[in-house]
Amino acid sequence: MNERFVEPEQLDHLPADHPEAVRSRRDLRIINAMLGTRRWLEKRIPVGAAVLELGAGDGSMCRGSSWTGLDLAPRPIDLPQACSWVQGDMFDASNWPKVGVIVANLFLHHFNEDQLQWLGQQIRRSCGLFLACEPRRHPLPMASGALLATLCDFSPVTWNDMMISIRAGFRGAELADALGFNSGFRVSETLLGSYRLEVHL
Ligand SMILES: C[S@@+](CC[C@H](N)C(=O)[O-])C[C@H]1O[C@@H](n2cnc3c(N)ncnc32)[C@H](O)[C@@H]1O
């Protein structure tokens, strides 16, 4: 697992209301809870800051009127009214509102080096704080992920995408380098498989 290996994931090619997509998004909520993602984000986001979440999925991280979710998928039906939603492609800069904080969760590993370079430039123009939680590319999360998938009866889509995601995940300063951040960043990696990047711009 020395090199990143980026492959298409099944969830990205299923209609948002497909039963396996619905089940897989439920599984993602379990994974996020196990990884402690919300707690890590909430500790770092200043109260009241305007936040843009890239690839917001089912919107389960979105909190209140200061949040905007951006995703190819339509606005989730159970998203709180107060949250804003942009349905569109992240690679279209006109879809990005100007905010204080940009968040990406289990999203950036989908992209190759050229795409991440474009994204880094766009992030630098758009916010003062960038927070990312991605899969850690390591054999340990492969094993703990398989155990969790068995215990929680994950969908075959989640099983497939989880292994692909870990192989496409990050280590060390890889994500900061790919985004073009040379300083002002901190990386942490957890035993359960979260790779976290915090960048002050
Ligand atoms: C693995 S899901 C993660 C969702 C969410 N962040 C979470 O943690 O549950 C990846 C999401 O990225 C979205 N996505 C993929 N490519 C995109 C793009 N180019 N622009 C916007 N959203 C995209 C997909 O629609 C999907 O909802």
| Atom 7 in ligand 1: residue holding the nearest Cα | 57
> Ligand 1 centre from 56 Cα, in Å?
6
Report the predicted TM-score, pTM, of the whole model to 2 decimal places. Answer: 0.96
Most ligand 1 atoms within 8 A of CB, residue of 6, 9, 12 to mutate: 12
177-194 burial: b if 16+ Cβ within 10 Å, else e: bbbebeeebebebeeebb
CA distances from 169 to 17, 59, 62, 191 (A): 27, 22, 23, 14
Ligand 1 is surrounded, with C-beta below 6 A, by 11-12, 28, 32, 55-58, 70-73, 89-91, 105-107, 110
User: What is the β-pairing status of strands 67-71 and 84-87?
Assistant: parallel
CA 62 to centroid of ligand 1, rounded, Å? 14
Query: Residue 10 — pLDDT band, cuts 50, 70, 90?
Result: very high
Spacing, Cα 134 to ligand 1 middle (Å) = 12
pLDDT of the residue at 65: 85
**Which residue CA neighbors atom 14 of ligand 1 most closely?**
55
CATH architecture of the domain covering 11-200: 3-Layer(aba) Sandwich (3.40)
- pLDDT above 90 (res 191): yes
Confidence of residue 46 (pLDDT cuts 50, 70, 90): very high
Would the pLDDT of 64 be above 90?
Answer: no
pLDDT band for position 91 (50/70/90)? Answer: very high
Sequence spans of domains, the chain: 11-200
Q: Ligand 1 centroid to 47 CA: how many Å? A: 25
pLDDT at 121: 97
